[in-house]
């Protein structure tokens, strides 16, 4: 760069619009997008460690995609090349690749290629990038306002990590304005600018999450307002309204906003919410959506979701569509609104979907023949008897007679399921009575060909596996618990997750799969568990490995001082905690404002009792009664935090932590095989934790415990028993 180039760059920077001058230069200056850039998040770690892989930033305008790329350029030790897909083609791509190869060859330096508006590249241009991304010559960072899964080459998408940027919230926008007003180098810190609160609120509201739009409006307001005698620039509400007059609605007729908004509109009508339906209609009309497209969707909905619950619905909507064609816009909005409100308030039925069940039956019953009595008898009635046995409905009372009209293999099949809504409610009873009569006719053989009933059997593989089972189903049960936790958690890809009892890794590895762009922390309480997790995680790329915390739950807050989690998960994490209220309060402090705690805790008071596995009639009555009393006493012992609590105690603990808590009890049973080793563990003594025998000793003598052990060996050894348990799923936030 020569002297003149430097001078040109200085002039460009000083005369650039405020939005360009105020671009953050470091990650600490970046405002917003905490879901991907907050403390502990994968992207923040990758930028700070300079360990970036290919990325695609996807989000609406003004959310910081290009700015984030510039921050990376200022942070990374890699060579940074930026091109714009609107202005560039294969020639520019080749030039960038040549530079990257040269840097790699002579300087051993990586190259980051930033492509703004990457969706603007056509397929051949995107294909030209692919081999160089594949072999690591360049690390691609793409920015796009369009859904990359639709607009970017699938091969590029599969080799990139996608981060979605969201519209900035009001708090972020206020912070951006404050930053611009106080920055003396790039903003208005050298000027005396006073913005009326209502003026600032207007700018933030109409900017609609777009930082660029907000800064452009602020610049216009400040630059066009003369200072008073004291040199103060007063930005009033009137000035703000002139600077930014109309909210920019994100709506692309071929993009995600188009499909997402029409989806919300249809679902609101289907859900009979007229207010929401009018809102989404207004948004589409305001954004310039084609009204005939909306009316076509309403015509579909009139049959798909209203159907025979209101047979007039399709007539009314069709009339509104024809009226719109005559009137046009803007008065045609009345007909759009009328059609929307009619359908939103109409009774709903999707019984017409029975057609698709019939279609599926046709696909699977390709050889189903038309019943003889329904065949055309005009041509071969004499030769083949076609049409013989057909009962003419008009010859009967009410012009109906019970006979079968389905192929033999489908007789008795139900496709049409009348709802109990609107007009269709009147149909339902009549249809049901006629079906009953048809079934009776089927039994009597009226109007049907004789059926051959065959009886046969195959090996029941499930039963066979059960009979052959010699191991417990604990693994299967844990999978069910894991899946239930993540169903409740609704983890998003950018979430920060804490597993508070990660010793087994059951939830940790699943969390990593669910939140690849976020981060996972794994809490363990001993070094052996920590080492085991670390060894398993060694096979993963460094950036996505769980961060292992070896600590107790009471000390956990001190280990994560600057981090707040979107989800805290755990299985049997609280069962040994003596003070569950204190633990719940600790976990509550670690949550993001919209965060959630999801725990699965096996409730000891509802667990399987061993005495119930024995047949009392075969045992000494007095010994059995003592065993029952002694075993029940285990779960009533107030000094044992492992066993002295119930689901209600969990609810009270999280309620005391000022969280909204929901506790759901789910009962489960599994087949467990009783082995000699298992019995030995039950009756072991001097173990690290009290055994079953140790706890029985509170109420039974040594001789009685030995007698119980003999009973277990005699009646349970090598038996497969049904083991019942109850799990409390805790959801708090």
- Which tens digits make up the pLDDT trace of 73-99? 888 888 888 888 888 888 888 888 888
Q: Do 412 and 301 sit in the same domain of this protein?
A: no
Check whether residue 599 and residue 609 sit in a common domain: no
- Domain membership flag for residue 384: yes
Is residue 189 pLDDT above 60, yes or no?
Answer: yes
Q: Is the model's pLDDT at 722 over the cut of 60?
A: yes
Confidence of residue 542 (pLDDT cuts 50, 70, 90): confident
Cβ neighbourhood burial of 86 (10 Å; 0-12, 13-18, 19+): exposed
Pairing of strands 192-195, 111-116: unpaired
> Do both 579 and 591 map to the same domain?
yes
| β 720-732/661-673 pair status | antiparallel
Lowest mean pLDDT among 106-115, 228-237, 334-343, 361-370: 361-370
Of the given ranges (143-152, 298-307, 459-468, 555-564), which has the lowest mean pLDDT? 459-468
Is residue 680 within 8 Å of 639, Cβ to Cβ? no
Per-residue exposure over 619-647, b if at least 16 CB sit within 10 Å of its own CB, e if not:
beeeebebbeebbeebbeeeebebbbbbb
CA torsion, ordered 717, 720, 726, 727, to nearest 10 deg = 100
The pLDDT assigned to 694 comes to 83
- In the chain, DSSP finds a helix count (H) and a strand count (E) of 32, 14
- Residue 49 belongs to some domain of the structure: yes
Rounded to 5°, the CA angle 116-187-171 comes to 75
CA 99/CA 101 separation, integer angstroms: 5
Q: Is residue 616 part of a domain?
A: yes
Task: State mean pLDDT over 572-582.
Answer: 85
In-domain check, residue 505: yes
pLDDT for residue 377 is more than 70: no
Q: Output the domain CATH number for residue 495.
A: 3.40.50.150
- Most distant pair of Cα atoms in the chain: their distance: 111
Distance between CA 600 and CA 571 in Å, rounded? 5
- The reply to whether 339 and 387 lie within a common domain is no
Whether 598 and 610 map to the same domain: the answer is no
**pLDDT for residue 252 is more than 70:** no
Rounded Cα gap, residues 480 and 571, in angstroms: 12
pLDDT tens, residue by residue, 646-694: 888 889 999 999 999 999 998 877 777 788 888 888 888 765 677 888 8
Name the 3-class secondary structure at 725. strand
What would the two tokens of residue 668 be?
């489960």
Between 518 and 422, name the one with better pLDDT.
Answer: 518
One domain for residues 528 and 614: no
CATH number at residue 343: 1.20.272.10
Q: Which residue has the higher pLDDT, 5 or 519?
A: 519
Domain holding 524, by residue range, is 474-603
Q: How does residue 500 score in pLDDT terms, banded at 50, 70 and 90? A: very high
Q: Which residues contact 706 (CB under 8 A, 6 or more apart)?
A: none
Query: Exposed, middle or buried by CB within 10 Å (0-12, 13-18, 19+), for 358?
Result: middle
439 and 487 in a single domain? The answer is no
Same domain assignment for residues 72 and 134: yes
Q: What pLDDT, on the 0 to 100 scale, is given for residue 458?
A: 38
How many domains, in total, are found in the chain? 5
Looking at 164, 187, 213, which one is the last position of a domain? 164
pLDDT at residue 452 is higher than 50: no
Residue 570 falls inside a structural domain? yes
**Interval 691-718: pLDDT, tens:** 888 888 888 888 888 888 888 888 888 8
Mean pLDDT, the chain, rounded, equals: 81
- pLDDT confidence bin for 50, thresholds 50/70/90: confident
Q: Is 391 helix (H, G, I), strand (E, B) or coil?
A: coil
Q: Reply yes or no on whether the pLDDT at 315 is more than 90.
A: yes
Which carries the bigger pLDDT value, residue 464 or residue 3?
Answer: 3
pLDDT tens string 621-636: 888 888 888 888 887 7
């Amino acid at each position: 760069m020569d002297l003149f180039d430097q001078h040109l760059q200085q002039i460009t920077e000083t005369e650039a619009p405020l939005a360009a001058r105020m671009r953050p230069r470091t990650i600490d200056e970046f405002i917003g997008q905490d879901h991907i850039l907050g403390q502990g998040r994968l992207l923040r770690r990758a930028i700070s460690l300079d360990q970036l892989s290919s990325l695609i930033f996807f989000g609406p305008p003004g959310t910081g995609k290009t700015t984030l790329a510039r921050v990376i350029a200022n942070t990374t030790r890699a060579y940074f090349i930026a091109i714009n897909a609107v202005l560039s083609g294969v020639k520019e791509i080749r030039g960038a690749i040549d530079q990257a190869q040269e840097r790699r060859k002579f300087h051993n330096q990586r190259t980051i290629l930033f492509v703004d508006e990457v969706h603007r590249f056509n397929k051949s241009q995107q294909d030209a990038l692919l081999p160089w991304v594949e072999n690591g010559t360049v690390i691609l960072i793409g920015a796009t306002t369009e859904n990359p899964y639709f607009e970017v080459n699938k091969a590029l998408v599969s080799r990139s990590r996608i981060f979605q940027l969201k519209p900035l919230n009001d708090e972020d926008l206020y912070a951006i304005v404050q930053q611009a007003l106080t920055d003396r180098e790039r903003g208005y810190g050298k000027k005396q600018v006073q913005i009326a609160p209502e003026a600032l609120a207007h700018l933030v509201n109409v900017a609609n999450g777009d930082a660029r739009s907000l800064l452009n409006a602020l610049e216009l307001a400040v630059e066009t307002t003369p200072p008073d005698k004291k040199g103060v620039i007063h930005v009033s509400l009137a000035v703000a309204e002139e600077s930014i007059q109309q909210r920019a609605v994100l709506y692309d007729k071929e993009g995600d906003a188009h499909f997402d908004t029409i989806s919300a509109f249809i679902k609101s009508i289907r859900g009979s919410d007229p207010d929401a339906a009018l809102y989404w209609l207004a948004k589409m009309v305001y954004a310039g959506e084609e009204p005939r497209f909306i009316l076509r969707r309403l015509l579909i909905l009139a049959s798909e979701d209203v159907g025979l619950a209101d047979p007039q619905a399709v007539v009314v909507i069709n009339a509104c569509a024809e009226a719109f064609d005559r009137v046009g816009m803007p008065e045609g909005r009345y007909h759009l609104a009328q059609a929307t409100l009619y359908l939103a308030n109409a009774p709903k039925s999707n019984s017409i979907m029975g057609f698709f069940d019939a279609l599926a039956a046709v696909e699977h019953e390709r050889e189903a023949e038309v019943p003889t009595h329904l065949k055309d008898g005009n041509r071969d009635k004499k030769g083949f008897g076609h049409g013989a046995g057909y009962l003419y409905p008009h010859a009967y009372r009410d012009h109906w007679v019970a006979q079968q009209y389905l192929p033999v293999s489908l007789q008795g099949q139900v496709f049409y399921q009348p709802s109990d809504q609107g007009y269709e409610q009147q149909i339902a009873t009549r249809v049901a009575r006629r079906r009953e009569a048809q079934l009776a006719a089927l039994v009597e053989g009226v109007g049907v060909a004789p059926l051959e009933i065959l009886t046969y059997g195959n090996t029941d593989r499930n039963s066979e596996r059960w009979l052959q089972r010699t191991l417990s189903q604990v693994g299967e049960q844990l999978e069910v618990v894991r899946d239930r936790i993540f169903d409740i958690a609704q983890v998003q890809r950018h979430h920060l997750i804490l597993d508070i009892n990660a010793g087994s890794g059951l939830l940790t590895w699943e969390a990593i799969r669910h939140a690849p762009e976020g981060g996972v922390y794994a809490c363990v309480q001993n070094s052996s568990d920590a080492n085991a997790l670390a060894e398993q995680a060694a096979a993963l790329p460094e950036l996505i490995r769980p961060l292992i915390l070896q600590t107790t739950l009471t000390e956990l807050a001190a280990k994560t001082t600057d981090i707040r989690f979107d989800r805290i998960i755990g299985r049997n994490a609280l069962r040994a905690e003596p003070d569950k209220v204190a633990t719940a309060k600790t976990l509550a402090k670690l949550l993001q404002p919209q965060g959630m705690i999801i725990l699965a805790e096996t409730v000891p008071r509802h667990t399987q009792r061993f005495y119930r596995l024995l047949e009392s009639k075969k045992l000494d009555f007095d010994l059995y009664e003592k065993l029952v009393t002694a075993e029940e006493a285990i779960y009533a012992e107030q000094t044992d935090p492992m066993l002295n609590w119930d689901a209600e105690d969990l609810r009270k603990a999280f309620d005391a932590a000022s969280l909204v808590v929901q506790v759901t009890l789910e009962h489960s049973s599994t087949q467990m095989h009783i082995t000699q080793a298992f019995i030995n563990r039950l009756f072991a003594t001097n173990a690290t934790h009290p055994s079953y025998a140790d706890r029985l000793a509170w109420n039974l003598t040594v001789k009685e415990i030995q007698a119980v052990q003999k009973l277990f060996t005699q009646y349970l050894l090598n038996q497969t028993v049904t083991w019942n348990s109850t799990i409390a799923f805790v959801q708090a936030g």
